[in-house]
Structure 1
């Protein structure tokens, strides 16, 4: 028995392709390039060899029609599915992740690696394959992957992902499909008719009264006090956790008005941010100016995000504030309670929050009942006066 190869020769250059078949040397006809065996297996082999020859001719025709460079190697690559038109889903993921290093933030790139692990597990467990060609991706693949994420255990524990967790992974996969379209690796986007369905969660923030309670509370534990102070600092500056953690002496400058400002750049989107320092924020900076554990010019002793969030929940419970607070709640508090509720225009708040679009700020913004009452009270007062400024009295 001898293995069968297809040999492609163009301009004297050769490429050989293993056909994963064997034949008895006794029955091999070197002239016709076929077996002379009349058995069913022999006939099936000859039919297969005819199909291989036809496919090789088709590969040559396709490359010529697309004005591609036609070589023995390019025909072989097209035949075995290793050229640009036969890219797989995992080829796309690997290419994206490799080229996005240094472009995407490490945390964002980490999420793409997590999504890659979900895809690999889905392909093996549900599709019984290690990979899939991009051209074979259809709308049904997206639906099946969504259901797998909803019902299967997450990578972290045995519980399935919640709806928004599923949607975030599908959002990343959709971005990859758009990337494949840009690279011309994909002709039709399987996400073309798919709509992401995020659940809108109530974004917690402290009211004016709750913020005052938080500020004035006497906390016996030193760690609690530090976390409370840093959280309050974020409530009066609108900075995110990573931005507060990176804050150093060089970020505090005299502004156009002669007062102290924070000049920094958001870690998330590298958007420049300029924030006038309110008195409460200045007080906290002064309080930790001589803190012994500070180094590298850092202004505040910031714990890990996980530890801060645990402490915030315990502090809130001790103060009878029954809200699911995280450090990010400080940005909502700044946007809603500190700025917008006190008449600061949304454009100004958006600039201080480091948003590139007003619509992003509107997600944070809450129009409180008290603000509505005050605004309508001012309107009522204006409407109840005539042109000469005399008060108009309603008559029942």
Structure 2
């Protein structure tokens, strides 16, 4: 399937090319078929970038318009995927009908809709509620300004959440404050979804990816070195499972987050080092150990969409296959939270992509890597996980006196 955007080129009765308020169309081609869908956007001819197939940045309202075009392209891809799995004929008529059912209402962009959310609901809010929502609006604006990719509904996924949490931590927010802030964001997203402006549901996983402030584990979840080696050597003929195994282990050996792994380009993997480019423009370099280098070499001569260093996958896919492999390997070490009376669960059932950074930190501390170096590699200064792991290690060391 291929999607393209184009502006209407039509002449008036005098034969002159019309240039004002020209409609933009999306063309979807598949299997020798073509479907033309109106975007609802009109733009002057001089505001259209034909090469990039988007509205020029300087054109009024360009960011909202371009976000809408990205959403349309994304929905077209989801429509094709759903149609292929439905068993129905891949015809232009079926594609158009399903697309019309899946697409959201036009909103003019994330922040325009957020402002509408405040305007339409503020008469029913207390002053405290209005200030809380207004603060969130300003915080998201600030995050958007320093981000390499503007906020839009189809990008509100696990990677967004991780980047947003890191942004809030750098501003000095406590974990409980961040949790409440995300809770308010989900409130807005539920409103947008109910109104038909948002059709993306990844944000509903945010709560599963965060621990409530009073439910945080005393020690972050991690793999012991032996458990990590078991996973590294896990045999499989399933290509997707193989990729999950390799990419998760690469994160464990390099101290990378899932969002950072997904952003890595071929040129970011230098000889012996990994260049991590932050959303705010910062750069850090992580030397590669032997284990990380072996995985990098396995993928260095393979090429993926957008020249990424590794194949892309969703965090949901990674978590799913991690747990399947963990169960098969017998990773049954019981994990308990700090909640009194809560039953423990075997390790494999709690495995997620986020376990990788914790695994790196835990094993680095046990190998006596200085805390300053660990913090520099992981990119988070004063990381509370480092302090908690060191505290646990100190307790274990003192137990050596219990002869």
Q: TM-score range by the shorter chain?
A: 0.3 to 0.5
* TM-score normalised by L of structure 1: 0.47
Compare CA radii of gyration and give the structure with the larger one. Answer: 1
